[in-house]
Amino acid sequence: MVHASFTSILAFFLFFSSGCATAPKVEDPYSFGVELMADSSPESAQNEGSSPATAHTAAQEIPLVGLRGLAAAYHLDFGAAVAFKALSISKYAQIVSSEFSTLTPENEMKWQYIHPVAGSYELFFGDQLVQFAQSHQMKVRGHTLVWHNQLPRWVSESVTTEDALLKLVTEHVSTIVGHYRGKIAKWDVANEVIDDAQGMRDTLFYRLSGTEFLSTAFRAAHEADADALLYLNDYSVEAINPKSNRLYELCKALLAQGVPLHGVGLQAHWDLDDLPSMSSVRKNIERFAALGLKVDITELDIRMKGAPTPERLRVQAEAYAALVRVVLDTEGSDSITVWGVDDGHSWVPQWMSSYGSALLLDGKYRAKQAYAAVVGELSNR
């Protein structure tokens, strides 16, 4: 069945793919002139620097066949982080809607953009993305309500007590989740709250309130939309390791307090030279699922250092396929989101010097071996 549809559109694709436009260089989507807090670069990022060329090394064209349809046969959501600005590129927009069943706003719902000034919300860009998703029968993953990065400076300047912080968190979360009530299926309520030394991350939120900001944020989100599934999202927590152990303990503690926590998001920003063990990823997903939590892969990309070679792209393809396999085989996990549509719209080259080629499509929207491997995993079961 799946195979039949795969072959039937091959001929169409070969014609279609020959005239792809070149993707423009990615840039941060908006500059509203909002001053950010000093620690506003993602922890998982390394130095900023020049980006390597996103070379295309595939020998033959690989057809785009609609991952969303293949994944749906397994009740798997297959999504992408999408930048509002890039939707003006028709090829990009067309791929988003034909390949992906869920959409995560890459930046547009972050505090910096959605709440740039005290008491003032900028919902236009988020609204546009939600509208795009709705008109293409895509679900939306809201990202992200409480995060120490991409947080405007006014927050730390105006908030100095626990009371003021919790009041602001409640206002922020209630306003946004309430605005999107019924339109956003899942929220990354809090992002990256565990630090790499395995304690709670030392942020303004934690300094002023301990873990109270978490219960406050989750409760406010649940009150604003009782149907939305609420997640804690973090990176380097895909396998069993000290950081994921800490996240696991935190989840248990929140659940014991009756906090409406429904799932964990495993970001999965991976380095091809430092991949986690897939059996450990599987066990990790299973232990969170055993707590009654959903486990979503929320920001998958697999970066490589330097120019991609056919061999490196092949290894990358295997890694993508292996993760899809684990997700399909594991109870409690039914959602994978890649952090960007194509290598021309990936955060990796901008944030991690000399790394790139992390996504399923290259910088000219051509499917890579990784794409074909995912299709294979979704077709041959």
Binding site for ligand XIL (CB under 6 A): 28, 42, 44, 106-107, 191, 267, 299, 347
Nearer to ligand XIL, 112 or 316 (CB): 112
3-class SS of residue 129: helix
Nearest to 147 by CA among 120, 123, 119, 176: 176
Q: List the catalytic residue out of 299, 311, 331, 377.
A: 299
Q: Round to whole Å and give the CA distance between 84 and 29.
A: 8
Q: Residue with CB nearest ligand XIL?
A: 347
Contact 200, 138 (CB under 8 A): no
Burial status of residue 117 (CB atoms within 10 A of its CB: 0-12, 13-18, 19 or more): exposed
Cβ 299 to ligand XIL shortest distance, Å: 6
Cβ 172 to ligand XIL shortest distance, Å: 16
Record the tokens describing residue 282, joined without a space: 């599987």
Nearer to ligand XIL, 284 or 337 (CB): 337
Could you check whether the bond before residue 144 is cis, i.e. omega within 30 degrees of 0? yes
Nearer to ligand XIL, 5 or 40 (CB): 40
Cβ 27 to ligand XIL shortest distance, Å: 9
Angle at 230 between CA 165 and CA 324, to 5 degrees: 135
The DSSP bridge pattern shows strands 186-191 and 102-105 to be unpaired
Task: Specify the amino acid at residue 344.
Answer: G
Burial status of residue 212 (CB atoms within 10 A of its CB: 0-12, 13-18, 19 or more): middle
299 catalytic? Reply is yes
Nearer to ligand XIL, 84 or 347 (CB): 347
Cβ 29 to ligand XIL shortest distance, Å: 7
99 catalytic? Reply is no
Cβ 202 to ligand XIL shortest distance, Å: 18
Nearer to ligand XIL, 109 or 185 (CB): 109
Q: How far is CA 376 from CA 19, 95, 291, 379, in A?
A: 25, 19, 31, 5
Nearer to ligand XIL, 148 or 312 (CB): 148
Q: List the catalytic residue out of 99, 106, 192, 377.
A: 192
3-class SS of residue 290: helix
Cβ 197 to ligand XIL shortest distance, Å: 18
Long-range contacts of 127-132 (CB under 8 A, 24+ apart): 128/84, 128/87, 129/82, 129/84, 129/87, 129/103, 129/105, 130/180, 130/183, 130/184, 132/82, 132/87, 132/93, 132/96, 132/97, 132/103
Cβ 105 to ligand XIL shortest distance, Å: 9
Q: Round to whole Å and give the CA distance between 345 and 362.
A: 9
Q: Round to whole Å and give the CA distance between 302 and 348.
A: 9
Nearer to ligand XIL, 146 or 324 (CB): 146
Residues tagged active-site: 192, 299
